[in-house]
Amino acid sequence: MLRITDHGSAHTCDGILRRDFLEIGSLSAIGLTLPQLLAAQARAAESSSQPDDGRSAIMIFNLGAPSQIDTFDPKPDAAAEIRGPFQPITTRSADIQLTEILPHHAQHADKFSLVRSCFHTAAAVHDTGHQMLQTGRLFTGGLNTPHVGCALAYLKGRRSDLPPHVILPEPMGRTGGNLPHGQDAGFLGKAFDPLALMADPSKPNFKVPDLLPPEQIGDVRLDRRRKLKSLVEESMQRFESSQNAKLLESNFETAYRIMTSPQARDAFDLSKEPPAIREKYGMNRFGQCCLLARRLIEAGVRFVTINTFITVFDEITWDIHGSKPFTSIEGMKNIVAPMYDQAYGALLEELHERGMLQRTLVCNLAEFGRTPRVNPAGGRDHWPQCFTCYFAGGGVQGGRVIGRSDPIGGYPAERPVEPSEVVATIYHALGIDLETTLSGPAGRPFPVVDFGKHEIKELFQA
Amino acid sequence: MTNQRYFATPALVLAVMLAAVSGAVAESGPAESSDESLRILPGDFALTHPESRQRIVVEKLRGEQFVGEVRDECQLQSSDESVVKIASGVAIPVGNGRATISAREGQRKASVAVSVSGQENEHVWSFRNHVESVLSKCGCNSGACHGARAGKNGFRLTLFGFDLDADYSYLTRQAIGRRIVPADPGRSLLLTKPTGTIPHKGGIRFEPDSLEYRVLAEWIAAGAPGPRPDDRVIERLEVFPKYSQQQLGGRQQLLVQAHFSDGYVEDVTRWAKYTTVNSSVASVSDSGEVQIAGSGEGGAKVWYLNLSELAFLSVPYPGMVAPEVYAQADRRTFIDEHLLRKLQSLNLPPAARADDATFLRRAFLDTVGILPTVDETVRFLCDNDADKRERLVESLLARPEFVDYWAYRWSDLLLITGDHLRPKAVETYYQWLRTKVAANTPWDQLVREIITASGSTHEYGPANFFALHQDPETMAETTAQAFLGLSINCARCHNHPLEKWTNDQYYGFANLFSRVRSKGWGGDYRSGDGLRVVFSDTQGELLQPSKGKPQPPRPLDGQPIPFERTTDRRIELADWLTSSANPYFARSITNRIWANFFGVGLVEKVDDMRITNPASNESLLAAASQFLVDHQFDLKELMRAILNSAAYQRSSESVPGNASDDRFYSRYYPRRLKAEILLDAMSAATGVPTEFKNAENKPYAAETRALQLPDASVDSYFLKTFGRPERLITCDCERSDEPSMPQVLHLLNGTTLNGKLQASNGRIHTWLESAAGPESIVKELYLAALSRYPTPEEELRLTSVLAGALADPANANERRQLLEDLVWSVLSSREFLFNH
């Protein structure tokens, strides 16, 4: 059995060695062909021997979907039943107007750029938009494409003791469609799934569940347990062809690494932040996730996905249908926008002050927009035909508006942008060549984005 | 203009085959195998009007099996080019008459008879059959475009053309008649938009020189005739080759013929829509060409005018397996013959038989959800009787823990949770279920009792089904999903895009539940007493929103019930549902039972029994379902047949050639223990039970196992993290058995396992109290946790670690901690965490 360590050297399997990131059994067992094996070897070698480009990304996914007209794409000249109750405000960018409910965004409008002409043609349920905006594709034919952060984990591996991709606070839950949301590694396999925090960092005494061993088990016992476990685990051949068994082992290795790394433990320790900073982000779940995301990027995580909300059913979110159990435009103004606006402003400011913005893309995505006409319940419904996404950092030039929607915010009038282009933009900012291929089902090469799809160049041009 | 239907009668087929074979035998050289012949698909055919076309595919036949297309090496020839000619694999009529088309590949030949007629007639494209199919093929009436509820840009079509009259009206009556311009067809929006002549947000759907354009243009020029009552109506599709064996890297062009009500047959290959069923095996292009990507069972779904068909593609695994391997393989129950046949057709070798210890542990976990005790393990392993495995199976099926385990599994299915039902209701429902499982009530009877339940939710458990689901649509959808494995939800708003269920059928089905009412509200799940008295009213209907009237109540595609009948409609529904003739009912429960023991269903996902999601082994699923029906739905009979089969008793160790199989059961697939089973197993191995508290924070009886909990809302971080279902939706996907980081972190650092290790009672305590020696500790630990003896090597390795510390009388603390660490290492090993 051949083992490939992060250091690009192979060991034969006598003795008990620390199993590292990638372990290969018999080639047929996990379906790797020799070229793929060598490619994996090369990647593992490359990730440690070449200097890392230091690029990272934070994806803020506004589950529920903000109303574009009431937030980033105001239509002050449209009829009352379209423009809604909010006034537009000027911002730090001459090109950008936002609505009055986003004053912090206005302060930082020189750092981000809006794409107001996003659209998609899949069914207007949340799940399809989740899939398309996070993986670039709609799932069909039984094929689950990977989240861009998971593809990154696959291509580049980890950069520090922490996993390469982390989801805060937890993966998306029920949004009514019973479809996958595209927040895992799909056909790449669960080995490249993100680590989910599974906790609320705004709670007092927040800690990552079970991150550290209990007091009675110090480092010595931890080590002894690890050795005993290796003794007990003979290499049972029956587990060689079990993906789940391999995944379990790889999970253990990741766990040990995180547990024994002071850097990793510190990254999750929000008590190390001064209270004033924590207050600046807002002592709520989303605010503290943004702060935690900054810390994780500093600690070497490549990609942090923040789900602003987790479900449309048990919390008040952007999904402002107006009728119960959803809130209305008013509710969004009072409950959702303030905490969102404050947290985003704090995040951009801190990234900027710490010199991280240049190499950290911050993208704010949603699964669709909302109907131009306010409905009788004082809300707006699903509208994938036109919505806004925005980007900051990672080489993006701020203060711009790319694309334009029509006078009622119903359809793109100029420069329509598909979800695949949004995802291509993220890959581009991370320095991934758009023609890179992943190892698809049955080993066939699977391009990270569909051929012919490019990043939104207008975001990056000088 | 009646057209004779030409089809490949068996006699004709035989004649063609014999001709091909005899030709081959007479002329074949040593290089060709004489049992391979050619066949021209679709067989004899007729071209009956000037626009008739027939795509031709030359297929290789080995015995009775199609084994791939012959293309470049093959020459196609018409015997009379004044009757029919061939261009790019398509037969085109020239003049009335008869001819033959023959194919020749090397020394092999085949031919088909072609009859051409009606060439003098003028052909008019039909709205129903041709215009609608263009609108479907080009995506115009898809959900993403004009088939959306609100259409696009003011132009709406019904989704995939499910309402012809509406579509005809939209096309000809709206938009001030600009969509169709009979006097100048080229100016019609119907043509200028999809060709991009006028800006079209949907892009260019076809070119002006395409057949699609010609169909629409000629139809407009002919006066845009609408659908007529005497139009021929499509009845069924036929796809060629329906079953074929393919090679890796191979290509196969599919053919589709539509059969109409008047006997007319048309080649619709160029109009049909194609999707792959399993993209890891094959992909399929828009023109129906399949490209093989990997080994296994795949297929292509073919759609035309709201009918679907499947073409099955079987791709053997690479490598060579001698026929003796299969001939000599173990066969113990009816399951084995079907399974081995599939393995042989796919070239997958079966793994060896699992040893006794492996079988013991596996059978215990899969049948009753617990580990055998140390004593039970020793007794079984030391038993020398040849039939001890059969006797073990019998004893498992009779154990009291059987009731716990299966009442729990069915509670998952029926959604018994305190998150949705009040405590008294939960208890009533759960106890009723337990009683049924304990009595081994046949499945059809159990389902009947649930569906037809009336009465108080505090007294009659299954009445709670109608407390959990309170409107007819939800009742209908849940019934279909839970008991038929069918998801009909999409048909709520329009005809189901993937299946044959129409909006009418959905509302007919839901109308079966429209008279179910209850006295008393019972509060909601957070408060109130949960008391509802369910009954069936004698009047009331559910209106179908799109039509504003009720549909006659009928179970999906069963017989409708007259509106005025006042008997409980659910009784007839239950008759239809549980009938042995119902194609979905037996298959669905059979598949669930199968997946319980093998870890992977014959159909995956387990509750996705769509026509277009075929089983990995159809003959096996059909046989197992029939077996269950023949045994009056006695689930234990099916379990017995499974447990005693050679298939179930295979090792999970792969042999060369079957390591990548994950669907065909050439070996057992190891899988992580389910959350509840794992927690209980840890309790048993450490001798320290888990304490559970109910909704009122009162502890359950001491030593209550997780599998004995009546309620999925019982608080447990361990169970939640390890994938216990929330029982909020009827979906097998709620439970997850995959490993994850939080699980591993919890095993390492969490309180559950560490708490059991540190407890003052339990196995470790007993070892210390009795001053047990290292050998007996290691033996007992392996027997308790892994259900086997340690190998001499393992024993040596571990006892040498223990020996020093245990002998030292001074440091009791150190001894204790070492034993805790040892037990931890075994309970966190794959062998413990997995069922293999």
Task: Assign A178 a pLDDT band (cuts: 50, 70, 90).
Answer: low
Task: Assign B34 a pLDDT band (cuts: 50, 70, 90).
Answer: low
DSSP string for B38-90: EEEET-SEEE-STT--EE-EEEEEETTEEEEEE-TT-EEEES-TTTEEEETTE
CB B371 within 8 A of CB B784: yes
Strands A195-196 and A165-168: parallel
Q: Which of A117, A138, A225, A241 to mutate to test the interface with B (most CBs of B within 10 A)?
A: A241
Q: What is the pLDDT of residue B829?
A: 94
Q: What is the pLDDT of residue B524?
A: 64
Instruction: Give the whole-angstrom CA distance, residue B542 versus residue B553.
Output: 9
Strands B834-835 and B671-672: antiparallel
CB B377 within 8 A of CB B632: no
Residues of B in contact with A165 (CB under 8 A): none
Query: Could you read off the pLDDT of A382-423 as tens digits, one per residue?
Result: 999 999 999 999 999 999 999 999 999 999 999 999 999 999
Q: Which of B40-49, B333-342, B768-777, B804-813 shows the lowest mean pLDDT across its residues?
A: B804-813
DSSP 3-state assignment of B251? strand
Six-digit token string for B501: 């269920």
> Which burial class, exposed, middle or buried, applies to B64 when counting CB atoms under 10 A from its CB (0-12, 13-18, 19+)?
exposed
Q: With 80 as the cut, is the pLDDT of residue B700 above it?
A: yes
Q: What is the pLDDT of residue B21?
A: 41
CB B267 within 8 A of CB B53: yes
Does the CB of B577 have a partner CB in chain A at under 8 Å? no
Q: What is the dihedral of CA B408, B411, B412, B414, to 10 degrees?
A: 160
pTM value is 0.80
Whose tokens are 């030949």? That residue is: B109
Query: Could you read off the pLDDT of A367-386 as tens digits, one per residue?
Result: 999 999 999 999 999 999 99
Task: Assign A436 a pLDDT band (cuts: 50, 70, 90).
Answer: very high
Greatest extent of chain A over all pairs of C-alpha atoms, in Å = 76
Contact B817 A221 (CB under 8 A): yes
Strand partners for A406? none
| Helix boundaries (H) for B264-355 | 323-327, 334-346
Q: What is the pLDDT of residue B795?
A: 93
How far B717 CA lies from chain A's nearest CA (Å)? 10
Q: What is the pLDDT of residue B232?
A: 87
Q: What is the dihedral of CA A5, A10, A15, A19, to 10 degrees?
A: 20
DSSP 3-state assignment of B554? coil
Q: What is the pLDDT of residue A413?
A: 96
B/e letters for A112-127, b = 16+ CB within 10 Å, e = fewer, are bbbbbbbbbbbbbbbb
Q: What is the pLDDT of residue A38?
A: 38
**Mean pLDDT throughout B520-547?**
83
Q: What is the pLDDT of residue B826?
A: 96
Does the CB of B720 have a partner CB in chain A at under 8 Å? no
Looking at every residue in chain B, the average pLDDT score rounds to 89
How far B202 CA lies from chain A's nearest CA (Å)? 10
Of B667, B801, B830, which is closest to A248 when you measure between CB atoms?
B830
Of B741, B744, B821, which is closest to A224 when you measure between CB atoms?
B821
Q: With 60 as the cut, is the pLDDT of residue A210 above it?
A: yes
Contact A240 B825 (CB under 8 A): no
Contact B670 A245 (CB under 8 A): yes
Q: What is the pLDDT of residue B809?
A: 64
How far A392 CA lies from chain B's nearest CA (Å)? 30
Strand partners for B315? B296
Contact A195 B826 (CB under 8 A): no
Task: Assign B738 a pLDDT band (cuts: 50, 70, 90).
Answer: confident
Q: Please report the ipTM that was assigned to this predicted complex.
A: 0.80
Q: With 90 as the cut, is the pLDDT of residue A234 above it?
A: no
Q: Which residue has the higher pLDDT, B567 or B738?
A: B567
* Percent share of chain B, pLDDT over 90: 66
Q: With 70 as the cut, is the pLDDT of residue B240 above it?
A: yes
Instruction: Give the whole-angstrom CA distance, residue B520 versus residue B523.
Output: 8
Contact B829 A259 (CB under 8 A): no
Strand partners for B86? B91
Q: What is the pLDDT of residue B763?
A: 96
**Mean pLDDT throughout A201-209?**
87
How far B761 CA lies from chain A's nearest CA (Å)? 18
Query: Could you read off the pLDDT of B363-372 as tens digits, one per residue?
Result: 999 999 999 9
Task: Assign B498 a pLDDT band (cuts: 50, 70, 90).
Answer: low
Query: Could you read off the pLDDT of B117-134 as tens digits, one per residue?
Result: 999 998 889 898 899 989
**Mean pLDDT throughout A52-61?**
94
Q: Backbone phi, then psi, for B136, in 5-degree steps?
A: -80, -50
Q: What is the pLDDT of residue A21?
A: 26
Q: What is the pLDDT of residue A4?
A: 29
CA distance from start to end of chain A? 51
Query: Could you read off the pLDDT of B387-412 as tens digits, one per residue?
Result: 999 999 999 999 999 999 999 999 99
Query: Could you read off the pLDDT of B264-304 as tens digits, one per residue?
Result: 999 999 899 999 988 889 999 999 999 999 999 999 999 99
| Helix boundaries (H) for B123-232 | 132-137, 164-173, 189-192, 211-221
Six-digit token string for B76: 């196609």
Instruction: Give the whole-angstrom CA distance, residue B308 versus residue B236.
Output: 8
Count of residues in chain A = 462
How far B276 CA lies from chain A's nearest CA (Å)? 6
Of B277, B670, B825, which is closest to A238 when you measure between CB atoms?
B670
Six-digit token string for B626: 């029939």
CB A436 within 8 A of CB A131: no
Contact B293 A442 (CB under 8 A): yes
Q: In B, residues 327-366, which contact A (CB 8 Å cutoff)?
A: none
Contact B828 A229 (CB under 8 A): yes
Residues of A in contact with B201 (CB under 8 A): 411
Q: What region, left, alpha or beta, does residue A336 occupy, with left being phi > 0 and alpha being psi -120 to 50 degrees?
A: alpha
* Percent share of chain B, pLDDT over 70: 94
Task: Assign B492 a pLDDT band (cuts: 50, 70, 90).
Answer: confident
Q: What is the CA radius of gyration of chain B?
A: 32
